[in-house]
A and B are shown apart, each in its own frame.
Chain A
Amino acid sequence: MLQGWIQIALTILIVVAITPFLGEYMARVYLGKPTVLDSVLNPLERSLLTLMGVRSRSEMTGWQYARALLFSNLAMSVLLALILFGQGWLPFNPTGLSSPSWDTNLHTIISFITNTNQQHYSGETTYGYFAQFAGLGFMFFVSAGTGLAVGIAFIRGLTGKPLGNFYVDLTQSITRILLPISIVGAIIFMVAGMPETLAGPVVVPTLEDPNISQAIALGPVAHFEIVKELGENGGGFYAINSAHPFENPNGLTNLIEIISMMAIPASLIYTYGAIAENRKQAWLVYGMVMVIFVGFVVITEIGEANGNAAVNALLGSPSPNLEGKEVRFGWAQSALYTVVTTGTMTGAVNSLIDSYMPTGGFVTLSNLFLQIIWGGQGTGTAYLFAYLILAVFATGLMVGRTPEFLGRKIEKREVVLASFLLLLVHPLFVLIPSAITLGFPDQLAGISNPGFHGLGQVVYEYASATANNGSGWEGLADSQPAPTGLWWNLSASVSLLGGRYIPIICLLLLADGMSRKQPVPMTVGTLRTDTVLFTGITAGVVLIMGALTFFPVLALSPIAEAFQLAKGG
C-alpha cells in the first residue's frame, strides 16, 4: 500500500521539477528569444513558412487568428478524410482493411481534428498502418499545435501583447516543442519494448494447445504513442489503448506516458508567469490546480485500493479492484494514470474506467466537467485564466471596486465572453444531447451497465466529447455495427465541434479585447490577483460555478452507485 503512494508522490514531484524548465523554454520560444535548437530550427522554420506561403510574420487580430485556425483545420480535415475513405487503395495496409462506414469516418475525423480522439472503432481491426501514422498521427501534431497556438495567443492578449501569427505559432509548436520531444521519447519507447514496424500481424500456435493460434498485432507504435500522450491526444493504436502491452509495456513507459500527458499543460501555467512577468501568480494558480488534482488522485486511489467489497467477500481477503487493470500497473499506477488522462484531456487509458469503483467515476466525470485540472493542450490554461477573470469580476463586485486583471479593466464584454465560454457552452453540449439520448434508452443509448452506472455512461460520452478528452466508459454501444452506433457517431460529432471551436473563438476574442485596453496604473486601491486569498476565491469560483451545474449528474450516477454498493448491491 505504502509502496503505491510513494510511486504516486514521486511521479508528481518529477512533473513539478520539470515545470519551470519546460515553462521557461516555451516562453522563450513564443517570445522569439534565442533557444538551444536555433541553429537547426531557424533555417528549417524559414523554409517551412516559405513553402506554406507565409511570407511575413505579421500580427493577426483575434478574428484573423480565428479565421486562419478554422481554414487550416478544415484543410487538415479534408486531407484526413481522403486518407480514411481511401484506405482500401493506400499502401502500408498489411491486414487489407477497407474503409469503415461513413459515419465512423466522419466521427473519427472530427474527433481527431478537435484534439479529442474519442474512438468509436477498434484500432487494429478498423484502420491500417498508413491511415494511422499518416492520417491520425498527423492530427496528433496539428490538433495539439492548434491548441497550443490558442493558449499562447490568449496569454499574449491577456498580458497586453499582440496575439501573434497563427501559422508561425502552429509551426513553432510542432518544430520546437512537440517534434523534438517526440523523437527522443519514441527512441526511449523502442528501447523499452514498443514495436515500430510496417510488418503485419504474427500468427503463432499457442504453447498449451497448438490447435489454437494467437494473432499478435504489430505496427509502427512507438513514434505514435509518444505524441499521443505529449499532445494530449489519446487515440490508441490498438482498441484497448495504453492498456495494450505494446502501447505501454512496463513501469518505465507508464511513467513517461504520465509525465508526457502532464508536462505541457502544467508547464504552460509557468509560461504564463514568465510572459506576464509574474511567476508568483503562476505558482499560486499552479498550486490551486495541484491541490484539486492531488485530492482527486487520493479519492480515486483509495477506491481502487480498497476494491469491490462484494468480490473481496468471495475472495476472503481485502484486494484491490483489478477488473480491467493490468498486473504490471496495479491499482496505484492505474488510478494515477486515469486521473491524469481525464484531467489533462488526453483520454488515453491504461485501465478501463467503466470498471472503476464509483469514486473513480466521480473523479473522472468531475475532471471532464471542470476542464482545468491541467486541462487540454493550450486551451486548458486559457480556461484557467478565464476562470481568474470571472473571479476578479465576482470579487470586484463584492468589495465594490472596478475589477482589473494585470492592470486592465474587466468590462461587460470580458465577463460575457468568459461566462459564455465557461458556464454555458459546456453544459449545453453535454446535458442537452444526454437528455435526448436518455429519453430513448432502447433506441439511442446502448447502455451496457444497468442502474445508476448506465446514466453515467451516457453523460460521460458527451462530457468527454465536449471537453475534447476522448476517454469513455467503454461498455457503451457507441460504435458501428451496433444499432446505436450511427446516433452516437453523429450526436457526439456535434458536441465535439461545439466544445472545441466555440470556446476557441471566444478565447481569441477575449484575448483580442484585453490586448487593446489601456493599462491602468496600479494603486493601493487595486485588488491584487497574485495573493493566496484571491487564488482561494478562484478555487471557490471554479468548484461552485464549474461543478454545480453538473452536480445532479454526479448525485444520480457515481454517488448513487456508491450507496448502492455500500448497501450490498
Chain B
Amino acid sequence: MSLTVEATKAIRSTLVLWVLVALIYPLLMIVIGQVVFPYQANGSLLKNAQGQVVGSALIGQPFGSDRYFNSRPSTTSYSTADPKKDEAGILKTGVSGASNLAPSNPALLERIQGVTDPDPSKSIEGDLPRLKAAGIQPTADLVYTSGSSLDPHITPAAASAQIARVAKTRRLQPNQLADLIAQNTDGRFLGIFGEPGVNVLKLNLALDALKPAS
C-alpha cells in the first residue's frame, strides 16, 4: 500500500472517530446530565434559605474556630483565597493538591508536632498542639492532610471528639450535637464499600440553623 493511501486512511479514521467519541458522546452526556440530573451535574451545590449558593455537598470548607466542627488540614486550604489578594489566581480556576510527604520525610513529623524556633518564619504551629490546645482528642484524620485537599468528611470519631468544645461555645446540649452528627454522616455504599464520613460543611450548616438551648 502506498504512503498516501495509508496516510489518508489514518487521517480519515482519526476524524471519524473524533466526531463519534470526542463530540457526540460528551455532548450527549452533557445534555442528559443537564436535563435528567441537574443537581449532580452542576456540582451538588447547597443553597441557603435566600437561595444563595453556600458551597457543594461534595467539597469541604476550612473550619478552624471553636464555633464549628473543624475540618481536616488541607494543603490548599480547600481551594480558598481572599478575593482581594488572589495573586495566584486560585479563585479563577479552583485548585486541588496534596502534601506528597513520604512517611520518612522529617517535614511530615514537623508539620504534625510543630516546630518552635526563635526565628518566627521557621516556626510551625503543628496540628497536634493546636488540637490539644483546643481540647480535642486528636485522631489520625485530623493531623494527616487529605488526598484532594478538599475532603468533605471527617471520621465519626473526629466529630465526637469535638462535641464538648462546640457544645460549650454554642451553649448546646451534647446529645443534640450527637444527633446532628448522625444525621450528617454519609454511610458506606450498601453498608459495605467505603468508610463512613461526617460531612463537615453540612453538619456546620445544620449547626447554624439550630437555636441555642434555653
B99 touches A323 (CB 8 A): yes
Identity of the chain B residue whose Cβ is nearest the Cβ of A323 in the assembled complex: B144
Count of inter-chain pairs, beta carbons less than 8 A: 402
* Contact between chains at A216 and B59 (CB < 8 Å): yes
A70-78, A274-282, A427-435, A530-538: which lies at the interface: A70-78
B145 touches A310 (CB 8 A): no
Residue B17 at the A interface, CB < 8 A? yes
Q: In the docked arrangement, what's the CA distance between A356 and B53, Å?
A: 36
Whether B91 lies near A203 (C-beta < 8 A) is yes
Q: Chain A residues near B112: list those with CB within 8 A.
A: 311, 314
User: A122 contacts the other chain (Cβ, under 8 Å)?
Assistant: yes
> A193-B58, A215-B92 are contacts. A187–B101 as well, Cβ < 8 Å?
no
Contact among B15, B150, B193 with A252 in the assembled complex (CB-CB below 8 Å): B193
Residues of A within 8 A of B190 (CB): 251
Contact with A along B163-199 (1 / 0, CB 8 A): 0000000000000000000000010111011110100
Q: Could you say which of B53, B82, B113 contacts A202, with CB atoms under 8 Å apart?
A: B53
- List chain B residues, Cβ under 8 A from A133: 22, 26
Name the B residues within 8 Å of A349 (CB-CB): 147
- Flag if A213 contacts B83 (CB, 8 Å): yes
Q: B139 to A351, Cβ gap below 8 A?
A: no
Q: Are B22 and A134 in contact (CB under 8 A)?
A: yes
The smallest beta-carbon distance between A132 and chain B, in angstroms, is 9
Of A138, A204, A308, A323, the most chain B CB neighbours within 10 A belong to A323
> A10, B100: Cβ atoms under 8 Å?
no
Contacts of A450 in B (CB 8 A): 104-106
Residues of B within 8 A of A448 (CB): 100
Partner of B17, one of A74, A141, A203, A252: A141
Q: Which of B's residues lie within 8 Å of A, judged by CB?
A: 1, 6-18, 20-23, 25-26, 29-30, 32-34, 36-37, 40-45, 53-65, 67-68, 72, 78-83, 89-106, 108-109, 112-113, 128, 138-141, 143-155, 186, 188-190, 192-195, 197, 201, 204-205, 208
Can you list 9 A-B pairs with a CB-CB distance of less than 8 A?
A75-B13, A137-B22, A191-B40, A215-B93, A319-B139, A320-B140, A323-B103, A325-B147, A450-B104
For the complex of A and B, list the 10 residue pairs with the smallest distance between their C-beta atoms, beginning with the closest.
A251-B194, A217-B94, A196-B33, A251-B189, A243-B147, A475-B100, A330-B195, A319-B140, A138-B22, A223-B29
Q: A residues engaging B (CB < 8 A)?
A: 6-7, 10-11, 48, 51-54, 64, 67-68, 71-72, 74-76, 79, 95, 97, 122, 124-125, 133-135, 137-138, 140-142, 167, 170-171, 174-175, 179, 182-183, 186-187, 190-199, 201-204, 206-209, 211-218, 220, 222-224, 238-240, 243-246, 249-252, 254-255, 307-308, 310-311, 314-315, 319-330, 332-334, 349-352, 354-358, 448-453, 473-475, 561, 564-565, 569
